Structures are given as C-alpha cells and as structure tokens.
Amino acid sequence: LQQNRTLQREAEDMKREVAEAKRDLSQYLMEAASIVYENDLLRGIANVRPEQLNLQDFKLKEKVTAARAVAMQKQLEREVAELEEERVQLKRRVRQMSELAAERVSLLHNLQP
C-alpha cells in the first residue's frame, strides 16, 4: 500500500515535470517562430533573398576573427613579458652603474667606501 502511494506520487511528479517541460517547449517554439517572422520581415524590408546570405561564411569569418584576436592577445602577452624582463635587466644594470659611479667618486676623492 505504501509502495503504491509512493509510485502514485512519483507518477504525479513526473506528470507535473512533463507539463512544465511542455510549457517551456511551447514558449521556446513561440519565441523561435517570432524570430523567424522578424527575420523574414527584415529580409523583406531590406529586399534580401534567403539565398543571398550565406550564414556559414559569416560564422567562418567570425571564428577566424576570434582566432586572430586570441593569437594577437597571446603575442601581446609575450611581448609584455619580454619587455618586463628587459625592464628588470635595465633596472639592475642602472643600479650596478650607479654603484660603480659611487665607487669611482669615492676613489677620486680619497673617500672610504
């Protein structure tokens, strides 16, 4: 008896879930139909036939552009890293030269370092 009630509750829950899924699907289908209608309307206004536009070309161009942007970003990051390393080396070199200059000044003036 208890198992029967549990199965009935599960069946009712499943029916509710199916009803919700059907409502969601219906909503998505209405939105898709609206988008298709809008697309057809805009094509009509722009006087563009469906065969005039190749969406695959647009998608491919978008992918190529995105790939170029990623490659450019990586290249710029490498350049930044190289410039940062060069900056650190130059900073170290300036310190060395200032120490050397201070040492020479002290030697020229017979000062103790």
* pLDDT by 10-residue block (mean), the chain, 113 residues: 87 94 94 93 88 82 93 96 96 94 84 60
Residue 79 sits at the vertex; the CA angle it makes with 76 and 81, to the nearest 5 degrees, is: 110
Predicted TM-score of the model (pTM): 0.45
From 93, 92, 73, select the one nearest 81 (Cα to Cα): 73
> What is the pLDDT, as a whole number, of residue 103?
86
pLDDT of residue 50: 76
Question: What pLDDT score was predicted for residue 83?
Answer: 96
- By residue count, the chain amounts to 113
pLDDT at 106: 83
The answer to whether 43 and 49 are in contact (CB under 8 A) is yes
Whole-angstrom distance, CA of residue 23 vs CA of residue 13? 15
